[in-house]
Structure 1
Amino acid sequence: MISEKLKLYVEALFKKYERNSLLSRKKTELLTKLHDRSISLEAEGMTKLDIEKLLIREIESKSLAVDTSDLNIDKSNVLKLKKKTFINKNLQKTEDFEPVNAEYYLSDFKSATLQNIDVEHSVFKNCYFKNFSCKDSAIIESTFKKSDLSQSNYDTCKLEYMLYTGCHLPKVNFTDTSILHTFFKNCYLKKVSFTNCILINIRFESCDIANVKITGGKMDKTTYRILQEEGTSLHSVELI
């Protein structure tokens, strides 16, 4: 039998998606996997509490999961969070931090770390990210509005379909990071560096990018031309 805690955990996992028959099938599929795995572990002599903890870890590591790529985010069900504080925290999914389909306002992420977490369909308004660290994570289809991201570091990350508008980004470092289909508008980008990054379809509007430094990595020809015309420092970049 699946514990009530595991059932609630599965409900929370699927909460962000649109309610339809496909979602019901996916949820049933995962619950069936959990049921079968529980029986197997119980036969091995594990306690119910240990089984519960192990199954949650396996779901989080995606070793026990179902394909949700064909499910649609329920954008009418946005979680709104205001004045939350995450200073120096290693961000994990909690009641205060929801990485998918959430809107944060006036929240403090100073010196926080995002590692092995995917943030999707989220908005950050007037938030503080100084010395923020993003490692081995993805931020997809999300927006940063009038937020301070100064001296932040992105290492081996994936940023796709992003919008930065009215943001403060001095001395931000991107290393071994893939940045695709991203738009910077009215942003302060002094001494921003990109090292061994993939930059595809990057757009800038009302941004001074003369002090941006790009070393190594790959870039599409249009992005390269725009950066070159603006006097951006470009070294050893491969065009694709």
Structure 2
Amino acid sequence: MNRAVVTLFVLSLFGSDGARPRAATAQSNIPAVSLRQTAAALARSGIAHRDPRSVLAAAQLLIVAERPSPGLERVTPQRASVTAAGLLREAVRIAVEQHDVVTANAAMELAGNARAGLGDAALASELRAAASLGATRGAVGGPVWADGELAPGTEVEYRITFEGDYQPSRLVVTAGDGAADLDCHLYDGSQLVGSDAGHARECGLAWSQRFTGVLTLRVHNSGAATYYVLVSN
């Protein structure tokens, strides 16, 4: 047998260091993330908190997860309790309920866009008809939404323009870490409109905004470092 062939054969059996081949292991202690699992968690949270953007984000993740991988064919049928199309419908339904025109339009775009979304013209048309029922109130331009991070003992400030009407305006800030302690204070100029300073991971405010104006929201974290989400009507 050719010596080079023998050498290659030995290397294939034992590896270049002479050791027997080992199973491939991850090079990091950080576990792989399942897009479907993350999407399911986002969808549950979004539906529970009436947050259409979380549901929309879940749909986007599923669109990526459902795209076929070249050279890979799944033989066993995929059992899916939720689909991207179903989540887009749910996102629009909640967006209409919350008068969130921006999120409803984004869901329509994902439904119809063939490159970044589903490329389903019929679904896009269906969502457009559903979204036409919505109308904006509360924050100017539709509900506000922010996602951020707060270290212990730090504060974040937002300026938000709210429309004047007799419908109650609402703001809710929720921390991802249960050990966080969020306090909310809302100001109209130097005047305090309302506050929620309990010992909890969530703070929320409701008030009547009679005239259109810019309000200042300050959120302080007295607990552990955390990510947070801010939503309004």
TM-score (norm 1): 0.22
Would you tell me which structure has more helix in proportion to its own residues? 2
Which structure is larger by alpha-carbon Rg, 1 or 2?
2
Higher relative contact order (CA closer than 8 Å, sequence separation 6+): 2
